[in-house]
């Protein structure tokens, strides 16, 4: 699947649609999910144009990969859900049709602030 420049997260990255920003650096943008499924539900997205984790794994530079992983950790710390600052969380990314992905720009969901429950429901 080729990258759709008009997906909702591309518009958020361009500032065309507002978001409740949590964190931003050269590699990632993080904001609260518009429809939170848990007490804390954040999204972390790379700034580069990647459809999903498979696309990212094949095309992103080492710097982008490190930037995304570090970004997830920084956001978790900022939200006080990391192992350092809180009680842990779940990081999850949906990939394509069977994964249930709705927005075709790679994003990690961070769920926390309460027990998250079963891995798959």
Closest CB to ligand 5GP among 19 and 60? 19
Residue 103 interacts with ligand 5GP (CB under 6 A): yes or no = yes
Please choose, from the candidates 3, 7, 25, 24, the residue with its C-alpha nearest in 3D space to the C-alpha of residue 16.
Answer: 7
CA 45 to the chain's CA centroid: 4
Query: Could you say which residues in the range 29-68 bind ligand 5GP, by CB under 6 A?
Result: 31, 33-35
107: annotated active-site residue: yes
Query: Rounded to 5 degrees, what are φ and ψ at 12?
Result: -65, -45
Closest CB to ligand 5GP among 60 and 107? 107
Please choose, from the candidates 26, 63, 66, 75, the residue with its C-alpha nearest in 3D space to the C-alpha of residue 47.
Answer: 26
List residues with catalytic annotation: 107
Binding site for ligand 5GP (CB under 6 A): 8, 17, 19, 31, 33-35, 94, 100-103
């Amino acid at each position: 699947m080729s990258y759709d420049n008009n997906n909702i997260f591309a518009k958020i990255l361009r500032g065309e649609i507002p978001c409740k920003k949590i964190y931003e650096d050269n590699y990632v943008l993080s904001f609260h999910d518009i429809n939170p499924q848990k007490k804390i539900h954040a999204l972390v997205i790379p700034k580069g144009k990647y459809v999903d984790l498979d696309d990212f794994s094949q095309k992103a530079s080492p710097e982008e990969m490190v930037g995304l992983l570090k970004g997830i950790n920084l956001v978790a710390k900022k939200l006080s859900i990391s192992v350092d600052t809180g009680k842990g969380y779940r990081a999850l990314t949906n990939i394509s049709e069977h994964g249930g992905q709705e927005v075709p720009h790679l994003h990690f969901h961070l769920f926390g602030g309460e027990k998250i429950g079963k891995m798959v429901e």
